[in-house]
A and B are shown apart, each in its own frame.
Chain A
């Protein structure tokens, strides 16, 4: 059912937070080597990057980022946010992005999961956000819509975002990981499903893919924790960005899928050490979730850029006074839309 997508419609964007990408790239070689890769080096990383031969790629480091956006703006791309620079400069229709500590996973039959192919399938088959199908993705082989599913909703809508999952080290916050240091995710759930309209969820940036043409500007670096660090459980930037994306998709009638593909996430970091930092991110979500659940965009917001600008406005008005972090995030969102318009795209993305 999926359209035949040409390899050159896809960019794989990798944010390099660690210098030695040798084993990462080699593990992904059979899956990645057909595609063009954009590797963005964390501007804070001092060491030289080590990348093995045999890939079609462009590497962007701090000087490159400075040159494209200016030295004052380049700070927004520090840490895990460096990948957004890749999203900005890409000119491809689809982007797939995984963290540099993730390897290909194996499915229940022991077969290596082609995460790129699965993400592309997710993005090129319809999503069904208006009614829940109990057999999950109705467009996958061997499944369909169940009895009672309205026929008028069976053509679905365009899928703008595909959120994958993680075996081994799941994307838990530091308190959870610290409480259960031995817990590893070994459950391979053989499903893709559409996240229903108006339902929000934590969208992790660890293993993600999107239609850049349709939703590009909505994935953005804006919320930065005061103590943001170089481990995922010391960040919330992707969770914030994901809430924006979902609100925008819901407004524009676009779909978000979650489930497969899985990647294998390597053990890294010490959650208990991270606990010594203040639980900013954890506390923040108490405000962030009810806020996004209440956001309603206007009829006039018909493009992704317009939607992001409106969300930024509401953030500023309703959250700005509660914490300067939100005020900064709102400004960053506005700046991002401007940056996207000047650097990111020559055409605006009209949303489905």
Chain B
């Protein structure tokens, strides 16, 4: 039951943020999110059989796209959007006209935290995940020097002794990566070894992932500034007809982080937590991930060594350059990467068509810093 105190009277960014949800089933989970999501516009990307009718609870303002819609809108470029995989959600990013995106899986619920202090009773409080994401996105990041008290802009915290004052303004935050209580986001081998492990640790921190450091970005509970970094959030070729699955968000995360590092933007991770309710089948997952587990040994050194030239001053230019390097350096790992590189280019073309440069603020920066 939502605590009224957690719902801000003037709902933050309600006309500037879209919530993108990929689904193949009914969206009853939205009932639990109603107090937090209802003010916002939803973009539902229906995967799988387009003839199935998806039931959305009453009272939500939404647009829904199924595969037929995607094919109609993108024409031949629809080939870059995955089918039979939640990676199709990135179509929602592309079609949105808002500045911010929040994306969540349909098996993620509102979390509550039990706060116990020595002198007080334990109390349960519903976490407004969206509000925390918005706070993360609206406050600066600090990628150039790590603050040991984590996010210095949070109430009750600050920069520690030794933190240079010239770095205390921070940089714009492009991504807010949230976490999950209950079923943790483990890969298949880990799930098989630890089927009963649940994440019960509520870590009360938000932090900026330092420049030059890569991380595994999970798409279950993710928000980003679409105007800044949208074009980099391509979730790759997964699912039907593809040799790999469950690396969609990983791929987007690595590209995004390299580009954010190059353009001087921040990526935060930590709060908010959502409650992840469903553990997917580890054997199914293993089949999907199997190639990825091998390939990532090549992918990580690749992304760690990507350098973008100074004249890559927009996200699209950066992304196209990465696509070129993917083809040149990863094509020999597997032909899949040739197709993926092509799809990355198609994605940018489609993005620019749907988001002509007048409307998009993902504009060139002067003197984009090279790595």
What is A's interface to B at a CB cutoff of 8 Å? Answer: 106, 108-110, 131-136, 142-153, 163, 165, 170-173, 176, 180, 183, 185-191, 195-204, 232-233, 236, 239, 242, 258, 281-282, 285-286, 288-289
Query: Which B residues contact A (CB, under 8 angstroms)?
Result: 115-118, 145-150, 156-167, 177, 179, 184-187, 190, 194, 197-205, 209-218, 246-247, 249-250, 253, 269, 289, 293, 296-297, 300
A151 to B146, CA, bound (A): 26
A200's contact among B118, B145, B160, B205, by CB below 8 Å, is which? B145
**Could you tell me if A134 and B218 are in contact, using CB atoms closer than 8 angstroms?**
yes
Among B160, B177, B190, B218, max chain A CB count under 10 A is at: B160
Assess the A176–B158 pair: CB atoms within 8 A.
yes
Which 10 pairs from chain A and chain B are nearest by CB? A202-B162, A148-B216, A201-B146, A239-B162, A199-B210, A132-B215, A110-B118, A196-B213, A147-B187, A148-B250
A122 to B210, CA, bound (A): 21
Chain B residues touching A, majority SS: loop
User: Is B161 within 8 A of A185, CB to CB?
Assistant: no
Q: Is there contact, CB below 8 Å, between A289 and B164?
A: yes
- Report which of B159, B198, B216, B269 forms a contact with A149, defined as CB distance below 8 A: B216
Residue pair B158, A183 in contact (C-beta under 8 Å): yes
- Given known contacts A148-B296, A239-B161, A134 and B216 CB-to-CB distance under 8 angstroms: yes
Contact residues in B for A183 (Cβ distance below 8 Å): 156, 158
A131 touches B300 (CB 8 A): yes
State A189–B150 Cα separation when bound (angstroms).
Answer: 9
Q: Are B297 and A152 in contact (CB under 8 A)?
A: yes
| A contacts with B: majority SS | loop
A-B contact sample (16 more), CB < 8 A, given A143-B201, A145-B187, A258-B146 = A110-B116, A132-B215, A136-B203, A146-B187, A148-B187, A150-B296, A153-B300, A165-B149, A170-B157, A180-B158, A185-B149, A188-B204, A195-B146, A198-B212, A204-B162, A239-B161
- 21 of the cross-chain contacts (CB-CB < 8 Å) are A132-B209, A134-B216, A142-B198, A143-B199, A144-B186, A144-B197, A146-B216, A148-B247, A148-B253, A165-B148, A170-B157, A170-B158, A171-B161, A173-B163, A198-B212, A199-B210, A199-B213, A200-B146, A281-B161, A286-B166, A289-B145
Q: Do residues B162 and A173 form an inter-chain contact, with CB atoms below 8 A?
A: yes
Min Cβ gap B114→A in Å is 10
Q: Which residues of chain B have C-beta atoms less than 8 A from A131's C-beta?
A: 213-216, 300
In the bound complex, residues from chain A placing their C-beta under 8 Å from that of B210 are 196, 199
* Closest-CB distance, A261 to chain B (whole angstroms): 13
A172 and B246 contacting across the interface, CB-CB below 8 Å? no
- CB pair A142–B201 under 8 Å, yes or no, is yes
A145 touching B190, Cβ below 8 Å: yes
State in angstroms the CA–CA spacing of A199 and B143 once bound together. Answer: 9
